[in-house]
């Protein structure tokens, strides 16, 4: 990290991977130490994780302290062209994310047609959370995850890797590392989401742009988890409309990634 650099996004690019790894290790050790004082950290995984993430937020705040340009970056998020792209990327990624669920539903239906004794493998129920559990989940998913994942995977990993490997390999590696932290059914969609976030970040040189998409995505996903929305859209006739929407989103997502990647590769080659 170079504290002589004053611009916010430029300072972010100077944070090294080894500095992030060291900060993560220290954060983990500190929370393990605190768990002896506060037993809840031993019994509640969400509380433990929130404490670790809080220390990482402090690390990034310390790294970026004294930098300038954040106000301009915030204003840039609300520019018309950026608002439109944020919404567009969010919609096509969220719709594509239902591909795995759609595939499971269709496969389940096909097997059931050939085997009347087949017991559905689907278990789509709305999640009932206590207020405390919901609050912890919301804090993690809506606040910490979008902010820290963008700072870590795009702000540090992508930035440092593209110096050594070039843009496309850096996109692939950083997005893959981002994706493997997600559920099995969401790995592909998380990977492509990560690629889109790299594209947005590189196009705008503003980490707040991909962060905004990530926040909106996680807010909507959290709210959907609290409703029977999945059960509704996987029932007839909505499943047909879902399949059409996924097909359109897949084409648009692939087109967006290919077009923007080619443009950025020409620009920075």
What's the distance, CA 27 to chain centroid? 21
Please give the sequence-ordered ranges of beta strands (E in DSSP) within the chain, or none if there are none.
none
42's torsion region: left (phi>0), alpha (psi -120 to 50) or beta?
alpha
| Lowest pLDDT segment from 16-30, 45-59, 146-160 | 45-59
Q: Please give the pLDDT value at position 146.
A: 94
Q: How confident is residue 157, by pLDDT bands cut at 50, 70 and 90?
A: very high
- Predicted TM-score (pTM) of the model is 0.90
Q: Please give the pLDDT value at position 112.
A: 67
pLDDT of residue 123 exceeding 60, the answer is no
Instruction: Give the pair of three-digit tokens for residue 108.
Output: 């389940």
Tens digit of each residue's pLDDT (9 = 90 or more) over 93-114? 999 999 988 888 887 777 767 7
Q: Looking at residues 130-139, what average pLDDT do you find?
A: 74
Residues 6+ apart with CB under 8 A from 216: 86, 90
pLDDT of residue 198 exceeding 70, the answer is yes
Q: How confident is residue 8, by pLDDT bands cut at 50, 70 and 90?
A: very high
Nearest to 99 by CA among 251, 254, 256, 243: 243
Tens digit of each residue's pLDDT (9 = 90 or more) over 222-269? 888 888 888 888 888 899 999 999 999 999 999 999 999 999 988 886
Q: Please give the pLDDT value at position 138.
A: 81
Q: Please give the pLDDT value at position 23.
A: 97
Instruction: Give the pair of three-digit tokens for residue 49.
Output: 């994780």
Q: Compute the chain's Rg from CA coordinates.
A: 20
Q: Please give the pLDDT value at position 220.
A: 94
Q: Please give the pLDDT value at position 43.
A: 84
The helix-helix angle for 70-77 and 80-96 (nearest 10°) equals 70
28 or 224, which is more confident?
Answer: 28
Q: What is the mean pLDDT of the chain?
A: 89
Cβ–Cβ < 8 Å for 199, 184:
no
Please state, in angstroms and rounded to a whole number, the distance separating the CA atoms of residues 116 and 80: 54
């Amino acid at each position: 990290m170079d504290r002589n650099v004053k611009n916010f996004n430029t300072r972010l690019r100077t944070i090294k991977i080894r500095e992030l790894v060291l900060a993560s290790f220290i954060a983990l050790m500190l929370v393990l130490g605190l768990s002896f004082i506060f037993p809840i950290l031993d019994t509640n995984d969400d509380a433990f994780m929130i404490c670790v993430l809080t220390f990482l937020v402090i690390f990034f705040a310390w790294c970026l302290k004294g930098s300038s340009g954040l106000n301009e970056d915030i204003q840039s998020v609300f520019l018309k062209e950026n608002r439109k792209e944020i919404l567009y990327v969010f919609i096509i990624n969220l719709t594509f994310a239902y591909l795995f669920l759609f595939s499971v539903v269709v496969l389940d239906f096909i097997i059931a047609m050939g085997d009347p004794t087949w017991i559905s493998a689907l278990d789509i129920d709305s999640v009932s959370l206590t207020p405390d559990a919901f609050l912890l989940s919301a804090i993690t998913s809506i606040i910490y995850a979008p902010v820290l994942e963008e700072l870590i995977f795009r702000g540090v990993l992508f930035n440092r890797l593209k110096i050594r490997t070039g843009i496309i390999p850096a996109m692939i590696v950083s997005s893959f590392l981002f994706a493997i932290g997600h559920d099995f059914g969401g790995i592909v969609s998380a990977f492509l989401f990560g690629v889109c976030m790299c594209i947005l970040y590189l196009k705008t040189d503003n980490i707040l742009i991909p962060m905004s998409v990530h926040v909106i995505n996680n807010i909507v996903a959290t709210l959907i988890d609290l409703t029977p929305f999945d059960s509704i859209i996987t029932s007839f006739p909505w499943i047909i409309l879902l399949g059409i929407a996924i097909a359109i989103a897949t084409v648009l997502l692939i087109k967006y990634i290919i077009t923007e990647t080619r443009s950025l590769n020409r620009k920075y080659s």
